[in-house]
Amino acid sequence: MSPSRSHRSSRRPAEIVAAALGLFAEKGFAATRMEEIAARAGVSKAALYLYFPSKAEVFKATVRETIGAAMGQLEAMAHGFEGSSEDLLRRLTGEICRVLGATPAGAIPKIVLSEAGNFPDIAEYYVREVVARGMALIEGILARGRARGEFAADLGPLAPFAVIAPMLTLAMWNHGLGRAVGQSLDPAAYADEMARILLRGVAGEGS
Protein backbone atom coordinates (compact mmCIF):
# COMPACT_ATOMS: atom_id res chain seq x y z
CA MET A 1 0.00 0.00 0.00
CA SER A 2 1.35 3.43 -0.96
CA PRO A 3 1.94 6.03 1.78
CA SER A 4 -0.93 8.17 0.49
CA ARG A 5 -3.37 5.25 0.51
CA SER A 6 -2.16 4.22 3.96
CA HIS A 7 -2.75 7.75 5.24
CA ARG A 8 -6.26 7.80 3.78
CA SER A 9 -7.00 4.43 5.32
CA SER A 10 -5.91 5.65 8.75
CA ARG A 11 -8.31 8.61 8.45
CA ARG A 12 -11.27 6.50 7.42
CA PRO A 13 -12.61 5.58 10.89
CA ALA A 14 -12.70 9.27 11.89
CA GLU A 15 -14.42 10.18 8.62
CA ILE A 16 -16.98 7.42 9.15
CA VAL A 17 -17.64 8.57 12.71
CA ALA A 18 -18.16 12.17 11.57
CA ALA A 19 -20.52 11.09 8.80
CA ALA A 20 -22.44 8.78 11.10
CA LEU A 21 -22.84 11.41 13.80
CA GLY A 22 -24.33 13.82 11.30
CA LEU A 23 -26.83 11.23 10.11
CA PHE A 24 -27.73 10.06 13.60
CA ALA A 25 -28.38 13.68 14.58
CA GLU A 26 -30.56 14.27 11.52
CA LYS A 27 -32.50 11.00 11.39
CA GLY A 28 -32.03 9.23 14.71
CA PHE A 29 -30.33 5.90 15.28
CA ALA A 30 -33.11 3.61 14.09
CA ALA A 31 -33.77 5.40 10.80
CA THR A 32 -30.11 5.69 9.77
CA ARG A 33 -28.92 2.91 7.46
CA MET A 34 -25.39 1.63 7.07
CA GLU A 35 -25.39 2.34 3.33
CA GLU A 36 -26.20 5.99 4.10
CA ILE A 37 -23.26 6.22 6.47
CA ALA A 38 -21.00 4.66 3.85
CA ALA A 39 -22.19 7.05 1.16
CA ARG A 40 -21.71 10.14 3.30
CA ALA A 41 -18.26 8.96 4.42
CA GLY A 42 -17.27 8.23 0.82
CA VAL A 43 -16.61 4.53 1.31
CA SER A 44 -18.26 1.38 0.05
CA LYS A 45 -20.66 -0.49 2.30
CA ALA A 46 -18.25 -3.42 2.29
CA ALA A 47 -15.40 -1.15 3.43
CA LEU A 48 -17.60 0.27 6.18
CA TYR A 49 -18.18 -3.22 7.56
CA LEU A 50 -14.43 -3.79 7.63
CA TYR A 51 -14.15 -1.00 10.19
CA PHE A 52 -17.44 -1.46 12.05
CA PRO A 53 -19.36 -4.76 12.09
CA SER A 54 -22.71 -3.18 12.95
CA LYS A 55 -24.54 0.12 13.21
CA ALA A 56 -24.44 -0.17 17.00
CA GLU A 57 -20.64 -0.33 16.84
CA VAL A 58 -20.58 2.77 14.65
CA PHE A 59 -22.70 4.59 17.22
CA LYS A 60 -20.48 3.44 20.08
CA ALA A 61 -17.51 4.81 18.18
CA THR A 62 -19.22 8.21 17.85
CA VAL A 63 -19.71 8.24 21.62
CA ARG A 64 -16.17 7.10 22.34
CA GLU A 65 -14.48 9.50 19.93
CA THR A 66 -16.48 12.60 20.87
CA ILE A 67 -18.01 12.84 24.33
CA GLY A 68 -15.90 9.96 25.62
CA ALA A 69 -12.70 11.64 24.45
CA ALA A 70 -13.81 14.94 26.01
CA MET A 71 -14.50 13.11 29.26
CA GLY A 72 -10.96 11.76 29.29
CA GLN A 73 -9.57 15.27 28.89
CA LEU A 74 -11.74 16.52 31.75
CA GLU A 75 -10.64 13.69 34.00
CA ALA A 76 -6.99 14.57 33.34
CA MET A 77 -7.65 18.27 33.95
CA ALA A 78 -9.42 17.60 37.25
CA HIS A 79 -6.71 15.22 38.43
CA GLY A 80 -3.98 17.86 38.16
CA PHE A 81 -6.02 20.93 39.12
CA GLU A 82 -4.50 23.02 41.92
CA GLY A 83 -7.03 25.85 42.27
CA SER A 84 -10.20 26.07 44.31
CA SER A 85 -12.99 23.54 44.00
CA GLU A 86 -15.31 26.33 42.83
CA ASP A 87 -12.95 27.18 39.99
CA LEU A 88 -12.63 23.50 39.12
CA LEU A 89 -16.40 23.04 39.02
CA ARG A 90 -16.74 26.13 36.83
CA ARG A 91 -14.05 24.84 34.45
CA LEU A 92 -15.71 21.46 34.25
CA THR A 93 -19.25 22.68 33.68
CA GLY A 94 -18.08 25.33 31.22
CA GLU A 95 -16.32 22.75 29.06
CA ILE A 96 -19.20 20.28 29.21
CA CYS A 97 -21.60 23.04 28.19
CA ARG A 98 -19.34 23.90 25.26
CA VAL A 99 -19.21 20.29 24.07
CA LEU A 100 -22.93 19.66 24.51
CA GLY A 101 -24.15 23.04 23.34
CA ALA A 102 -21.79 24.01 20.54
CA THR A 103 -20.43 20.83 18.91
CA PRO A 104 -22.11 18.02 16.96
CA ALA A 105 -21.42 15.68 19.89
CA GLY A 106 -24.18 17.45 21.81
CA ALA A 107 -26.75 15.59 19.71
CA ILE A 108 -25.72 12.27 21.26
CA PRO A 109 -27.63 12.63 24.57
CA LYS A 110 -30.82 13.44 22.64
CA ILE A 111 -30.34 10.40 20.42
CA VAL A 112 -29.73 8.10 23.37
CA LEU A 113 -32.65 9.43 25.42
CA SER A 114 -35.07 9.14 22.52
CA GLU A 115 -34.05 5.61 21.49
CA ALA A 116 -32.84 3.99 24.72
CA GLY A 117 -35.99 1.91 25.14
CA ASN A 118 -35.63 0.23 21.77
CA PHE A 119 -31.84 -0.06 21.81
CA PRO A 120 -30.73 -0.84 25.39
CA ASP A 121 -27.28 -1.86 24.18
CA ILE A 122 -26.35 1.66 23.07
CA ALA A 123 -27.98 3.12 26.19
CA GLU A 124 -25.93 0.86 28.45
CA TYR A 125 -22.77 1.78 26.57
CA TYR A 126 -23.51 5.49 26.88
CA VAL A 127 -24.16 5.18 30.61
CA ARG A 128 -20.90 3.29 31.11
CA GLU A 129 -18.73 5.44 28.83
CA VAL A 130 -20.16 8.88 29.63
CA VAL A 131 -22.73 9.09 32.42
CA ALA A 132 -20.92 6.98 35.02
CA ARG A 133 -17.63 8.77 34.38
CA GLY A 134 -19.28 12.18 34.48
CA MET A 135 -21.06 11.39 37.72
CA ALA A 136 -17.84 10.13 39.31
CA LEU A 137 -15.99 13.22 38.16
CA ILE A 138 -18.57 15.61 39.59
CA GLU A 139 -18.87 13.66 42.84
CA GLY A 140 -15.08 13.81 43.17
CA ILE A 141 -15.11 17.59 42.80
CA LEU A 142 -17.93 17.95 45.32
CA ALA A 143 -16.09 15.67 47.76
CA ARG A 144 -12.92 17.72 47.24
CA GLY A 145 -14.85 20.88 48.03
CA ARG A 146 -16.41 19.37 51.16
CA ALA A 147 -13.05 18.14 52.43
CA ARG A 148 -11.50 21.59 51.95
CA GLY A 149 -14.39 23.40 53.59
CA GLU A 150 -15.29 25.11 50.31
CA PHE A 151 -18.66 23.40 49.77
CA ALA A 152 -21.54 22.59 52.10
CA ALA A 153 -20.95 19.48 54.18
CA ASP A 154 -24.48 18.12 53.76
CA LEU A 155 -24.54 17.64 49.99
CA GLY A 156 -26.47 14.45 49.33
CA PRO A 157 -25.87 11.57 46.88
CA LEU A 158 -28.18 13.15 44.31
CA ALA A 159 -26.09 16.33 44.07
CA PRO A 160 -24.18 15.13 40.95
CA PHE A 161 -27.51 14.59 39.18
CA ALA A 162 -28.52 18.15 40.02
CA VAL A 163 -25.27 19.41 38.47
CA ILE A 164 -25.60 17.31 35.32
CA ALA A 165 -29.30 17.94 34.64
CA PRO A 166 -29.01 21.58 33.44
CA MET A 167 -26.26 20.62 31.01
CA LEU A 168 -28.48 17.94 29.48
CA THR A 169 -31.20 20.55 29.14
CA LEU A 170 -28.77 22.70 27.14
CA ALA A 171 -27.96 19.77 24.84
CA MET A 172 -31.62 18.91 24.31
CA TRP A 173 -32.49 22.54 23.58
CA ASN A 174 -29.64 23.43 21.24
CA HIS A 175 -29.90 20.17 19.29
CA GLY A 176 -33.67 19.91 19.32
CA LEU A 177 -36.37 22.42 20.10
CA GLY A 178 -34.10 25.46 20.11
CA ARG A 179 -32.76 24.59 16.68
CA ALA A 180 -36.28 24.09 15.35
CA VAL A 181 -37.42 27.55 16.48
CA GLY A 182 -34.12 29.32 15.80
CA GLN A 183 -33.36 30.15 19.43
CA SER A 184 -30.13 28.42 20.35
CA LEU A 185 -28.56 29.26 23.71
CA ASP A 186 -25.00 30.54 24.07
CA PRO A 187 -23.11 27.73 25.89
CA ALA A 188 -20.65 30.05 27.66
CA ALA A 189 -23.35 32.37 28.98
CA TYR A 190 -25.45 29.36 29.96
CA ALA A 191 -22.52 27.80 31.83
CA ASP A 192 -21.85 31.03 33.74
CA GLU A 193 -25.46 31.38 34.82
CA MET A 194 -25.74 27.71 35.73
CA ALA A 195 -22.58 27.84 37.82
CA ARG A 196 -23.73 31.00 39.59
CA ILE A 197 -27.01 29.35 40.60
CA LEU A 198 -25.47 26.01 41.53
CA LEU A 199 -22.67 27.48 43.62
CA ARG A 200 -25.12 29.32 45.82
CA GLY A 201 -26.26 25.88 46.87
CA VAL A 202 -22.99 23.94 47.09
CA ALA A 203 -20.75 26.60 48.63
CA GLY A 204 -22.62 26.77 51.95
CA GLU A 205 -22.89 29.64 54.39
CA GLY A 206 -19.14 30.21 54.66
CA SER A 207 -18.69 31.20 51.00
Q: Residue 190, Cβ neighbours under 10 Å: how many?
A: 22
| pLDDT tens figures, 92-127 | 999 999 999 999 999 999 999 999 999 999 999 999
> What is the pTM for the complete model shown?
0.87
| pLDDT tens figures, 56-94 | 999 999 999 999 999 999 999 999 999 999 999 999 999
The CATH number assigned to the domain holding 47 equals 1.10.10.60
Q: Which amino acid is at 171?
A: A
Q: Residue 44 belongs to what domain range?
A: 3-58
Residues 48 and 92 placed together within one structural domain of the fold: no
- CA 138 to CA 123: how far, in whole Å? 21
Residue 173 — very low, low, confident or very high, per pLDDT cuts 50/70/90?
very high
Domain presence at residue 120: yes
